[in-house]
């Protein structure tokens, strides 16, 4: 089959997968409150540098692995079935949890636009989050829509991804320029710059979640068989995508800070949106909604592509039912996509807070996959500088895992997230041994 993805397609796929709902919601509820502006930027930059170093190990993987499934097939072929399954099981939750989480952002959009008028038929409360039938219907419809788009083929889904990513970056830059012009930087300087104090704790709080925020860069290995240009150029595109991701996250944090102190931002319903409304009115807010719509749409689409490719690879290696590796005439995996969608459709029923607890595990699970790629690269390459990058990737992976698990770490996982992590490990162990026995 003719390879379908060009350079801009891959670039848009990376951008759309890196910049999702979190870039718009984290500034008010997380970044400004815990780390301010400058320490957040430093944390994002350090995280971006660490991810870029890991990307060099991924370059080694791309040179030596020409199959769908990325980290899974690479690990399986070099370290065996058990290790391959560990990587696949880790990444599958990273990818799958991002789909309903981005879909839930559509529900937030409607609540902001229509207030409580959007909510109808209260169902129950779970983890202090009220679940309404209206949320379930909307999120389910969105997931099913992207199921249809991806079954129709990668060509259509990549065109949508290109448009979403272009709109996202353009609108965020324009909004920042207009807000600085109309509002100035007085609030920013008074609240975050004039009294600034460097804090390694505040920096590490941001750095620790970068594997989760930037997990989208590793969608490239999942679509390696569809790339129609040199692998080395894909690595450059991934690093550029990470740089732009750092810029967008930092920019949206600054946009919130242009009007609010950390405490004021925490008390708002949505700091980024409220700041834009305060400076640019509802016209600016409308454009921000377009940008958010582009971000979450790109996230759903990107992770549905990556998830279906991973499931198809597991099927090819007989760790899942063989039907999931069947391709249609458009070159997509319809059964794998339906499987991904079926799992994602659980999300609307368990509520946004529970999904967030699950997503909090994603940084840890993604770090495990990064570590495997780096470890394999150490023995895979003879070039000294590539070997150094592989060793550094393993060290960085251990660093991320330590931040998330060690007691008294500023970024230690919450108790619910640890509980979900243990449950996921137990479930994976049962499935692996059952499948291995069969």
Tens digit of pLDDT for each residue in 118-158?
A: 778 888 888 777 888 888 998 899 889 888 887 876 666 66
The pLDDT of residue 229 is: 73
More confident residue, 351 or 314: 314
Reference 69, options 296, 315, 435; nearest CA is 315
Determine, yes or no, domain membership for 410. Answer: yes
Determine, yes or no, domain membership for 2. Answer: no
The DSSP letter of residue 227 is: B
Determine, yes or no, domain membership for 54. Answer: yes
Which CATH number belongs to the domain containing residue 143 in this structure?
1.20.1740.10
The pLDDT of residue 258 is: 92
Tens digit of pLDDT for each residue in 153-180?
A: 666 666 776 777 788 888 889 999 999 9
Reference 21, options 176, 319, 248; nearest CA is 248
Question: Euclidean distance between the first and final Cα of the chain, in Å?
Answer: 33
CB 201 within 8 A of CB 408: no
The pLDDT of residue 155 is: 65
Tens digit of pLDDT for each residue in 415-436?
A: 888 888 888 889 888 888 887 7
Quickly state the pLDDT bin for 1 (edges 50, 70, 90): very low
Determine, yes or no, domain membership for 1. Answer: no
Determine, yes or no, domain membership for 392. Answer: yes
Determine, yes or no, domain membership for 298. Answer: yes
The pLDDT of residue 39 is: 95
Return mean pLDDT, the chain: 84
Residue 232 domain boundaries: 7-437
Number of domains observed in the structure of the chain = 1
The pLDDT of residue 392 is: 92
The pLDDT of residue 252 is: 92
Helix (H) or strand (E) holding 402: helix 384-405
Determine, yes or no, domain membership for 428. Answer: yes
């Amino acid at each position: 089959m003719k390879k379908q993805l060009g350079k801009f397609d891959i670039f848009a796929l990376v951008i759309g997968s890196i910049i999702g709902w979190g870039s718009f919601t984290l500034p008010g509820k997380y970044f400004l409150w815990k780390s301010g502006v400058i320490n957040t930027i430093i944390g994002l930059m350090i995280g971006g540098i660490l991810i870029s170093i890991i990307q060099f190990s991924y370059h080694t993987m791309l040179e030596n692995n020409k199959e769908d499934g990325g980290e899974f097939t690479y690990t399986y072929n070099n370290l065996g079935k058990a290790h391959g399954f560990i990587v696949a099981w880790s990444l599958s939750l990273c990818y799958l949890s991002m789909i309903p989480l981005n879909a839930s952002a559509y529900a937030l959009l409607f609540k902001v636009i229509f207030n409580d008028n959007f909510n109808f038929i209260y169902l129950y409360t779970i983890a202090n989050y009220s679940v309404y039938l209206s949320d379930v219907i909307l999120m389910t419809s969105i997931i099913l829509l992207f199921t249809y788009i991806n079954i129709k083929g990668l060509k259509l889904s990549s065109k949508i991804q290109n448009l979403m990513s272009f709109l996202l970056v353009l609108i965020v830059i324009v909004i920042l320029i207009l807000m600085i012009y109309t509002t100035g930087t007085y609030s920013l300087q008074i609240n975050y710059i004039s009294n600034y104090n460097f804090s390694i704790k505040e920096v590490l709080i941001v750095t620790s979640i970068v594997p989760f925020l930037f997990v989208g860069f590793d969608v490239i290995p999942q679509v390696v068989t569809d790339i129609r240009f040199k692998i080395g150029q894909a690595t450059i595109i991934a690093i550029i995508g990470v740089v732009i991701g750092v810029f967008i996250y930092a920019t949206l944090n600054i946009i919130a800070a242009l009007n609010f102190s950390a405490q004021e931002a925490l008390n708002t319903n949505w700091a980024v949106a409220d700041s834009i409304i305060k400076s640019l009115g509802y016209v600016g807010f409308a454009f921000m909604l377009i940008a958010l719509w582009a971000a979450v749409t790109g996230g759903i689409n990107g992770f549905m592509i990556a998830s279906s490719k991973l499931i198809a690879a597991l099927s090819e290696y007989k760790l899942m039912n063989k039907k999931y590796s069947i391709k249609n005439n458009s070159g997509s995996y319809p059964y794998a996509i339906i499987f991904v969608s079926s799992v994602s459709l659980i999300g609307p029923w368990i509520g946004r807070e529970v999904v967030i607890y699950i997503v909090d595990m994603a940084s840890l699970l993604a770090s495990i996959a990064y570590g495997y790629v780096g470890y394999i690269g150490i023995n895979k390459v003879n070039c000294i500088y590539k070997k150094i990058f592989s060793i550094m990737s393993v060290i960085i992976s251990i660093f991320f895992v330590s931040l998330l698990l060690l007691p008294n770490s500023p970024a230690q996982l919450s108790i619910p997230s640890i509980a979900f992590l243990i449950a996921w490990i137990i479930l994976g162990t049962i499935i692996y041994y059952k499948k291995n026995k069969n």
